[in-house]
Chain A
Amino acid sequence: MKKSIIALSLLMTLSPLSAFAATAPLDLVGPVSDYKLYVTEEIAELVTQTQAFTAAINQGDLATAKKLYAPTRVHYESIEPIAELFSDLDASIDSRVDDHEKGVTAEDFTGFHRIEYALFSQNSTQGLEALTAKLNTDVNDLKTRVDGLTFPPEKVVGGAAALLEEVAATKISGEEDRYSHTDLYDFQGNIDGAKKIVDLFRGQIEKQDKAFLAKVDKNFATVDKILAKYKTLDGGFQTYDKVKENDRKALVGPVNTLAEDLSTLRGKLGLN
Chain B
Amino acid sequence: MSSPTPQPAPPSRALRWAVAGSVVVMIAAGGLFYYASQLAASKRQANHNEITVTIHGHACEPNALTVPAGHASFRIVNRSDRAVEWEILDGVLVVEERENIAPGLSQVINANLQPGDYAITCGLLSNPRGTLRVTPTAQSDAQAKAKPSMVAFIGPLSEFRVYLSAQGSALVKATGALRHAIEAGDLAQAQALYVPAREAYQRLAPAAQRLAELDNAINARADYFEQREQDPAFSGFHRLEYGLFQQRSLDGLTPIAQRLVNDVTTLKQQLLAQSLPPEQLVGSVVRNLNSLADVRAASGEEERYSHIDLNGFAANLQVAHKVVDLMRPLLNKSAADLLPTIDSTLAAFDSELQGFKVDGGFARYDSITADQRKQIADKAKALAAALDGIDPALGLSGLQ
Contacts and interface: CB of A to CB of B under 8 A. Distances in A.
Nearest to A106: B126
Interface size class of B (residues with CB under 8 A): 35 or more
A32 B124 contact: no
A85 B158 contact: no
Given A29-B158, A152-B155, A169-B83, A87 B277 contact: no
A48 B164 CA distance: 25
Secondary structure of the A contact surface, majority rule? helix
A87 B126 contact: no
Nearest to B277: A26
A84 interface: yes
Interface residues of A, number: 39
Contacts of B156: 150
A26 B97 contact: no
A231 interface: no
B75 interface: no
Contacts of B158: 28-29, 32-33, 36, 150-151, 153
Interface stretch (B12-20, B146-154, B308-316, B380-388): B146-154
A112 to B, nearest CB: 15
A29 B275 contact: yes
A166 B87 CA distance: 15
Contact of A32 (B87, B92, B121, B154): B154
Contacts of B93: 85-87
A40 B169 CA distance: 14
Contact of A166 (B94, B100, B126, B157): B100
A79 to B, nearest CB: 14
A7 B42 CA distance: 14
Chain B CB within 10 A, most for which of A36, A88, A150: A150
A25 interface: yes
Contact of B100 (A91, A106, A108, A170): A170
Interface of B: 35, 38, 58, 82-85, 87, 89, 92-94, 97, 99-100, 102, 121, 124-127, 149-151, 153-159, 161-162, 165, 275-277, 326, 329
Interface of A: 3, 6-7, 24-26, 28-30, 32-33, 36-37, 40, 84-89, 91, 95, 98-102, 106, 108, 150-153, 165-166, 169-170, 270-271
5 A-B pairs closest in CB distance: A169-B100, A33-B161, A32-B158, A33-B158, A25-B150
7 contacts: A28-B158, A29-B161, A32-B158, A85-B94, A99-B85, A106-B126, A151-B155
